[in-house]
Structure 1
Amino acid sequence: MEAYPSELLLIAFVAMLAPLVAELPSGARLPVVVLEVVLGIIIGPYMLDLAKPEGMIGTLGELGLAFLLFMVGLEIDFDKIRGKPLSLAVGGWLLSLFAATICMYFFNVIGLIQSPPLLAAVALSTTALGVLAPILRDRGELDSSFGTYMVAAAAAGEFGPLIIISLLLIPAHDTVLHGLFMVTFIIIAFVAANIALNARTSRMIEIMKRTMQSSGQLPVRICILLQILFVALAAKFGLNIVMGAFAAGMVTGLAIKGKEGETLRQKLDAIGYGFLIPIFFIVAGMKFDVSALWSAPLAPVQVALLLGLLVLVRGVPLVLYKSELAPEEKLPFAFYSATGLPLIMIISEIGVSSGHMRPDRAAILVSAGMLSVLLFPVLAVKLRGKMKWPWQ
C-alpha cells in the first residue's frame, strides 16, 4: 500500500503532462491519447520501471476502460448515424471480418502468424472508437459528414467484435444458455432505452436540473449507478463487462440527449476524460512489453504484417463508400478505422486465459494494436491536412 501514493502521484503528473505537451507549439502535434500511451510506456516496468500496472493502479485502469466505453456509448448520436451511415458501417464491418478471417487462415496455414484464426480475425476487425472519439472531437470533426460516417464505422467496429467475443469466445456457459443470456441482456438494454426515452417528463427534467447544482449531484449519481448496474448485469450473464459499460452509455445518451443534458454531459466528461480515462491509456502503455517487438526472429515482421493487415482489413469497406467520401478522405478513413487497442487487448487476454493463444502470440497482437494507436491517428490527421511535420 505504501507504494501506491507515489505511483498515483506519478500517474496524475503524467495525466496532466500529456495535454500540456499536446498544446505546446510544435510542427507535429500528437493526439493526447497517443501521448498518454507513450508516457505510460516510459514510466512502466518495461522501461524506467517507475510504476507497475497492478493492485490499485490496475483497478483504476479497468475502471477507466469501463468509463471509456460508457462515454463512447454516450457520444453515439443514433439520430445522426442511423440510415445510410449505420447500414454502411455494419456492412463494412462484416466485410472486414470476412477479409480478416480469410487472411488469418492463410497466414496460419503457412505458419507466418500462428494464432487462432477466428480470434485474430475478430481482433483485426476492431476499431477503437474510444480512442478516435476524443481525437475527432478535439479536431472539430465529430459533427462533420466525415465524422458521422467515421463514428458509425467505428461503432460497428467496436460493437460487432463485442458481440462475437461475448457469444463465441467467453465460455462462461454452454452455447445455447449463453446465447439466451446474450439475447436477454440485449432485450433489457432495449427496455431500458425505451424507459429512458419516455422518462423525459418536464417534472423529471426540472428535478434533475435542480439537483445537478446541489451537493447531491443526483443526475451524475444515477449515471454512475446505471453504468455499474449494466456492468454487473453483463458480468452476471457471462458477458464481457465492457459490453455492459457500452450499453449503459447508449441508454444514458438517449435519456440526456438535447440541450437539457448538456450540463450533465460536461460533468461526465470531467469525470471520464479528466480522471479515469487517462489512467486507462497510461496503464495500457505501462502494460506494453516493448521487448515483444524483437522477442523472436520473426516478431518484427509479424508486427509489421499485422499493422498492414489492420489497414487492409478495415480499408476493404471503402468500396462501399464510393459516393459518400471524397477521394482525399478515403485513406484517412482507413487509417482511423484501423486504429485498435482496447478490444485487441481484451481479445488477447481472453485467448491467453482460455488457453487458445500463447502469451508470446498475444504480445505480438497487442504490439500491433499499440502501434496502430501510436501511428494511424497521426497519419490520418496528417492526411487530413491538419498538421505539418517538423521537416516541412
Structure 2
Amino acid sequence: MSQYGVLILIMAIAVLAPLLAYGVGRWLPVPLVIFEILLGIVVGPDVLGWAHGGQTIDALSELGLAMLIFLAGYEIEFDKVRGDTLKRALRAWVVSLAFGLLLASALAGWSYTKGVYIGTALISTALGTVLPVLRDSGDLHSRFGSVMMAFGSVGEFGPIVAMALLLSGRSPIESAALLAAFALIIAGAVFWAMRPRPPWFSQVIAKTLHSSGQFAVRLVVLLLAVMLGASTALGVDMLLGAFAAGMVVRLVLHGAAPESAHEIVAKVEAMGFGFLVPIFFVVTGIEFDLAALLDGGRALLLLPVFLVLFLVVRGGPVYALAPRDLGPGDRKALTLFSSTALPLVVAISTIGVKAGVLRTDEASALVGAGMLSVLVFPLIGLKLRAGKGERALPKGPVAGAESW
C-alpha cells in the first residue's frame, strides 16, 4: 500500500476509534488512545498486514508526538502546582527516579542506557489521561484534584528532563551545561510571555480569531517550532522543547488574551487531536511487535512485571510522601492515578527502539503494560474515591481538562 493509502487508512481508524470509545464507554470507560493503538495493531504487519511505516508517515508521527507533549505542557496549571504539595511531589519523583533506574538497570542486565529508557518510562504519569477522569467524577477542583495535579505534573515533566540529562550521550557536565543553556532560553521565553502585551496584540487576536488570518494559532505553531528548533540546536531532546513550548504558550495566551485562550487552544487541540496525535498512536500500533509479545517468550513475561513496577516504582514513593491530610483511601487512589502511564511510555519506547537500545519486544511489553495501567488503575482509583467528588463539582466548565 502506498504512503497515501496508509494515511487514508490511519485517518479512517482515527474516525472509527472515537465511535468505539463512545459505544464501549456506556459500560466501561476505555481511553480513546487504547482503541487507536489496538486498531493500529490490527492493520499492522502482525495481523492484517495492510499498513507499514514509511518516510511520510514517520514524519507525521514525529509531529504528532511533538504536539502530544506540547499539549501536555500546556495543561500544567501553575497556580495549583506549588507549596508543600509540590515539594512532596518532587521528593516522591526523585525517589522514584533512583529506585526506577536501579531496578530497570538490573532488569536490563546492568545495561545503563537500556536501564535509563526503561527506568524513565516507569516513573512517568499520564496526567492527560487522568485529568478527564477526575473532571467527570467531580474531583478535579477538590483538594484531591490539586494534589493529583502537582504529583502528575512532576510525573510528566520529570522524565523528560531526566532523558535530556541521561540519554544525550555526553558527559554529565556537558549535558547539564546544555540543559542549563536551554533553561535560560525557556526563562527568556517565560519573561517575554509574562510581559504586558500592547493593545494591538489582543486586538489582532480578536479580529483574526474567526477569520482566515488565525494570528493566535499561527503564533502558537511558531512558538512550538522555535522551541523545537532551539532544543535540536542544543542537542536537547525535542520532547523537552515541545513541553516547554506548551508552558510558554499558556503564559502568553492567559496573559495577553485570557478571554480567548480557551477558544484558541481548542483550535490547536483540533489540529493536534484531530489529525497529528492520532497518527502517532495508530503508527505506534502498526509498529507494535505483537508476534514477539505473544510467542510465549521473555516479552510476555515482562508485561506483568512492568505493570507491577509502575505501581511499585512510581506509586510506592507517592503513597509514602502524599500529604498527611489525605485519608488512607485517597492516598491509595493517588497512588493508582500517579502510576497510570501510557503517552510518555509510548514516546520513550519509540525513541528507544529508533536509537537501537530497546528491542521491539521490550518496547511492546512496556507499551502493553502502559495500556493495562490506563485500563485498570483509574477504575480502581475511582472506586476508592466513590462519592467523594460530587461535593467538589465546579459550577462552570473546567479549563484545560481536555486531553489525550
Scaled by the length of structure 1, what TM-score is found?
Answer: 0.86
- The question of whether the paired residues in 1 share the 8 Å contact of 2:80 and 2:150 is answered with no
Query: CA contact under 8 A between 2:293 and 2:361: conserved in structure 1?
Result: no
Task: Verify the 8 A CA contact 1:169 1:350 in the aligned structure 2.
Answer: no
- For structure 1, the 5+ residue unaligned runs are 387-392
The answer to whether the aligner puts 1:177 opposite 2:178 as a matched pair is: no
Q: CA deviation at 1:382?
A: 5.4
Residue 124 of structure 1, aligned match among 122, 125, 129: 122
Q: 1:220 aligns with which of 210, 217, 228?
A: 217
2:97 maps to which residue?
97
Q: Distance in 2 between matches of 1:115 and 1:365?
A: 16
Amino acid at match of 1:240: D
Counterparts of 1:345 and 1:217 in 2: how far apart (Å)? 32
Q: 2:342 is matched with which residue? A: 341
Q: Report the equivalent of 1:210.
A: 207
Q: 1:61 & 1:353 partners in 2: Cα distance?
A: 13
CA distance in 1, matches of 2:52, 2:380: 30
Matches within 5 A, 1:1-392: 3-24=2-23, 26-107=26-107, 116-137=114-135, 141-171=139-169, 173-257=170-254, 258-295=258-295, 297-316=297-316, 317-352=318-353, 356-381=357-382, 383-385=384-386
Q: CA deviation at 1:13?
A: 2.1
Q: Name the amino acid aligned to 1:158.
A: E
**Secondary structure in 2 aligned to 1:51?**
coil
Q: Provide Cα deviations, 1:80-130, integer angstroms capped at 9, x if missing partner.
A: 222233222211111211222343355456x9x998434432221122334
What are the Cα deviations for residues 267-298 of structure 1, in whole angstroms up to 9, with x where unaligned? 12222222222222222222221223234534
Partners in 1 of 2:357 and 2:276 — Cα distance?
A: 31
Which stretch shows the higher mean deviation, 191-200 or 328-337? 328-337
What whole-Å deviation, never above 9, does each CA across 1:209-230 have from its counterpart, x for those lacking one? 1122221101100100110111
Give the match's secondary structure for 1:256: helix
* Residue deviations 1:315-362 (CA, integer Å, cap 9, x gap): 111111153434333333323322323433444455455565455444
Q: Structure 2 length normalisation: TM-score? A: 0.84
How far did 1:187 drift? 0.9
8 Å CA contact 1:303, 1:368 repeated in 2: yes
Q: How far apart are 1:184 and its partner, in Å?
A: 0.8
Q: 1:348 to 1:275 in 2, by over 3 A?
A: closer
Q: 1: distance between equivalents of 2:113 and 2:295? A: 16
How many angstroms does 1:31 deviate by?
Answer: 1.9
Cα distance 1:302–1:262, how it changes in 2: closer, same or farther (>3 A)?
Answer: closer
Aligned letter for 1:323?
Answer: R
Letter in 1 for 2:201: M
Distance 1:333 1:54 in 2: 40
Residues of 2 paired with 1:270 and 1:324: CA distance? 39
3-state SS of 2:59 partner: helix
For the residue of structure 1 that corresponds to 2:41, the secondary structure is helix
Q: Return closer, same or farther for 1:174/1:91 CA change in 2, 3 Å cut-off.
A: closer
Aligned residues of 1:69 and 1:130 also touching (Cα < 8 A): no
In the comparison of the two structures, how many residue pairs are matched?
A: 382
Distance 1:361 1:22, change over 3 A: closer
